Structure 1
């Protein structure tokens, strides 16, 4: 749905966080004012992120320090969604977690085991489930080699997300999706991904703010994972030209007749109130 003059004001807004509201946890100009303006118009907001380096509480605190007032229960992370999935699908199973950052607070009830519990490096024991979080130094050669061997042996792999990269104030960093694509191709086995762009995260976020998906606007800097994926579940997508946005990637996407174009494009989240007619 194209927004603008004459369009119906949405009942809810979902924000991606990194690259939309903040960059390396510093506020993007106008982000705090936009969130405040939505609140003044009684538009429900939630924050749907593939960030896996921090817990929901830590993310809310970091946003608060950036001048953006958010409650922890308004934040929906890929880690929290993955924990829900593991509790339902693999209750009590030993889960080998590879993640950059300690998010155990958001994974209560999950039997997380570390690499030191798997015996010598040359003959590691086999976990029940492999869980891949956000990429970082923990994604080293030995660890990924172990994951590959376990995938070949049929151990299920659950990825918190398939994001391929994220943007920092020091440049672009590759993320889990880049590694996961290679592991799947080499092993011949597919992982289950829980966070964006999977539909469940968007629908869960809409449910938590009590708004039907058709009345929700999703704001993101990732064309595939944020915007087009949200549009696939009936939401209205808004792509911002900040964060990981690349004009050449957008040009290639819209040139493909089979690709779904973004509903709306704005320069920054600061332009959202005008787009919504507030």
Structure 2
């Protein structure tokens, strides 16, 4: 076993020493391309359920490496054939995701991070708040999902894709009872409504809890992602918010606004302290009479 460990270490030392001797523009360019490819794969997979498979695959590779170093014959045998089976199964199971990955490669928006300024976030929260107040007063059922860090691509693709600003008027037109898009959820990413009539996973609830499909879907999407889901009941007009699998029911409009402002801080783009100071100073000067 000692000779096997030394052999593995020697091969690693040889690889890094040869890399050091031959290091130049070509090697740097090669490493850069591989890094970009892996980063692109991560950017895509983090928006899908396949990210969990990727983490599991990395753990399997590490386990194989450890089994090989310490000559764990049985474990190495099992992991070898398990990995082979996974390599064959992954393209079959995740065929839709792989197809979308190739489609997204040519989209410019894929390469940009979606973030908001404080003012943009405040505007969006106000529009959602105003829309929910209208839904509540008129007993209009609604389900709004706001993406945070976890991607929601597979749920966006289940609905009708849109590119619309987040305004109370547009949200009202979508959830108007006679609208063809009123069933399902609206999904908001950044400052845009990206889909309507989307299908969400429905959570199993405890016996005795009187929850409709919208509220169960709000809980369901918050269980599988870090998204914020808002549900408005068409029977009672009450507003509920779901985060992390927990549902807070019958909240007021002001409570909704404060919760959204706190929960969506992760969507705010960071600014350097110096830039932020100049921006605040300029705003104060503009407000002076």
TM-score (norm 1): 0.23
Rg bigger for which structure? 2
Q: Which has the higher strand share?
A: 1
Query: Does 1 or 2 have the higher relative contact order (CA < 8 Å, sep 6+)?
Result: 1
Higher helix share: 2
